[in-house]
A and B are shown apart, each in its own frame.
Chain A
């Protein structure tokens, strides 16, 4: 896959994550999460409690499936949920991680 495509996909994923945050904001009161790649999802700097994070990840997973027209393997495995080197550290690392899953799936 070309680098440009990879960046396009990542941008698309970021949009999906931001949309999912907006949707979550309608369910969770006082959800204050900045929509930018540096925003922390895990660890002390994160404003999300564990259930809200689970809800966000599931919402993103389903939105990605809908937009790309194929099921993807679970984003949140136990490795991903641990804090050190987790792809869920920030919105940016999450988008990179999902992009890599999609590239792997499309390249078979």
Chain B
């Protein structure tokens, strides 16, 4: 593992994040994962931090420690995200703050700190998480979709600002998955969303890692600022 590539994944306690941690450690990456709560699993070549992605001081402290532990950071996957499904008339401002803090502010802080580190090696791959909820303009998901729209724009602007440093920034936009986020949503609503996709089924974890594999491979050095929505959902 001495020359293994180093990958940082946010939100690895469960769901897609945990799957990605397992998948990329098996592929030979040295993975650093994090979540607010402790994890209940162990993996080889994996280490875990407990922190809130929007806590700038703690995130900076973590990067400071990691920079002294590893020569370089090769890949950042900004997976951590929260959702809240509700009509806007019933959505408190605190929900908006919470969602934007984790989804947008967290993504931004991690991109900034990762890019500072990646620039030393003049190589870096950043993959953010958008959502099909953004181009589909789903009712009941105004704040979640807006936060993911912000990530799209952040991805596109950062791709330009970081291009000269040989760092690519792209995003993947899944359609509904069977996760904790969608378990709380009524089945008929999920069915309606899936019916609007070109390929009418749930996103599987492998669909996401397939897109990430493409974004992070060395040959994808000319691919940046792109958002790939799954299931045939089209962007703007």
A residues apposed to B, CB below 8 Å:
51, 55, 58, 61-62, 65-66, 70-71, 73-74
Contact = CB atoms under 8 A, between A and B. Distances in A.
Nearest to B112: A74
Identify which of A58, A61, A70, A73 gathers the most chain B CB atoms within 10 Å of its CB: A58
Contact of B60 (A51, A58, A66, A73): A73
B53 to A, nearest CB: 16
Contacts of B36: none
B196 interface: no
A62 B116 contact: yes
B64 interface: yes
Contact of A58 (B61, B68, B116, B164): B116
A29 to B, nearest CB: 14
A65 B64 contact: yes
Contacts of B68: 66
Contacts, number: 20
Contacts of A55: 119
Nearest to A61: B116
A42 to B, nearest CB: 19
A58 B119 contact: yes
Closest 3 CB pairs of A and B: A71-B60, A71-B64, A58-B116
B62 to A, nearest CB: 9
B116 A51 contact: no
Contacts of A66: 67-68
A73 B116 CA distance: 13
Interface residues of B, number: 12
Contacts of B119: 55, 58
Nearest to B63: A71
Contacts of A74: 112
Nearest to B65: A71
A66 to B, nearest CB: 8
Contacts of A73: 56-57, 60
A1 to B, nearest CB: 21
Interface string B106-119: 00000010001001
Interface string B91-131: 00000000000000000000010001001000000000000
A20 to B, nearest CB: 12
5 contacts: A55-B119, A58-B119, A66-B67, A71-B57, A71-B64
Interface in B20-76: 56-57, 60-61, 63-64, 67-68
A64 to B, nearest CB: 11
B124 to A, nearest CB: 13
A66 B204 CA distance: 42
B61 A71 contact: yes
B3 to A, nearest CB: 23
